[in-house]
């Protein structure tokens, strides 16, 4: 009788242990589970705003597009053009490195963070328009036109003025074209020196976690209509993803939409 009782107790212990192991498995599996990009659903993150979201898994080439019509529409890049502007400036040596300082001219602008001296890197992070306008003038129209053509950036039209063409002006690019540009930057297949591309990518870091690094740049248009961008990529332990968000709102909103999506799908974890 005792033998039978002990055997029954042993079975209960094993069953409990088996249940515990099984119960623990989903959490461990979730960490390693690969995101199937093609099955994403993001329309609820836009809250009725007109916009588009593109995400591509670099390793599998799977791509998700929310609102394909909008994704093909060319729009002014605004401050996401700081990415190619920095690449070109470094390549042609119009600026030495990410620490190259430009002195504030004393003109009070709308954001307090703009009203001081800046480096190439700090001006990228703070989205300081005057710094990158000065950089574009230092690059000059002939070199800028040549490089915008070399990288096939949107419609390649810089006729709107050397320090204005990307700001509600002549240069336009579609979200799909921007995704392709960011992917080539990520893979370092653009026609720039590799140290130049590595520097600009480093300047794009937005945040870092234990299992991910988020890179990106916002852009906002307020002239005529509101439109915001957030373009970049996120690297995780096993995969990297290119993303572009464009919405009829601000760049801050585009970034918030993006990070909310990345959190939902477990790419940003805290």
CA distances from 209 to 26, 141, 164, 242, 244 (A): 22, 40, 36, 18, 21
Q: Are 120 and 89 in contact (CB under 8 A)?
A: yes
Q: Strand 63-66 relative to strand 101-102: parallel, antiparallel, unpaired?
A: unpaired
Concerning whether 240 is annotated as a catalytic residue, the answer is no
Q: At what angle do helices 141-150 and 129-139 cross, to 10 degrees?
A: 100
The DSSP H or E segment spanning 236 is: strand 227-236
- 83, 167, 168, 171 from 160: Cα distances, Å: 19, 9, 9, 8
Please list, in sequence order, all residues whose beta carbon lies within 8 angstroms of the beta carbon of residue 54, skipping any fewer than 6 positions away.
63, 64, 65, 66, 71, 175, 176, 179, 242, 243, 244, 245
Given the residues 79, 127, 174, 240, select the one marked as catalytic.
79
The residues assigned a catalytic role are 79
């Amino acid at each position: 009788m005792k033998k039978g009782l002990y055997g029954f107790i042993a079975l209960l212990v094993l069953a409990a242990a088996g249940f515990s192991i099984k119960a623990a498995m989903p959490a461990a599996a979730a960490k390693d589970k690969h995101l199937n990009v093609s099955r994403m659903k993001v329309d609820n993150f836009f809250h009725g705003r007109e916009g588009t979201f593109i995400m591509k898994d670099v390793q599998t080439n799977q791509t998700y597009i929310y609102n394909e019509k909008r994704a093909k529409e060319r729009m002014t890049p605004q401050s996401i053009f700081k990415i190619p502007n920095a690449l070109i400036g470094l390549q042609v040596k119009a600026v030495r490195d990410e620490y190259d300082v430009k002195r504030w001219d004393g003109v009070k602008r709308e954001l307090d963070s703009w009203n001081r001296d800046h480096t190439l890197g700090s001006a990228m992070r703070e989205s300081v328009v005057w710094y990158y306008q000065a950089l574009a003038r230092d690059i000059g129209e002939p070199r800028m036109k040549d490089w915008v053509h070399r990288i096939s950036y949107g419609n390649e039209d810089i006729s709107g003025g050397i320090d204005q063409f990307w700001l509600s002006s002549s240069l336009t690019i579609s979200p799909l074209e921007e995704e392709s540009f960011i992917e080539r930057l990520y893979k370092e297949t653009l026609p720039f020196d590799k140290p130049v591309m590595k520097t600009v990518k480093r300047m794009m870091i937005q945040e870092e976690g234990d299992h991910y690094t988020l890179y990106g740049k916002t852009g906002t248009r307020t002239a005529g209509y509101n439109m915001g961008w957030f373009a970049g990529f996120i690297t995780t332990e096993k995969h990297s993803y290119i993303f572009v968000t464009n919405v009829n709102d601000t760049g801050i909103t585009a970034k918030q939409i993006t990070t909310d999506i990345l959190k939902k799908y477990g790419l940003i974890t805290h």
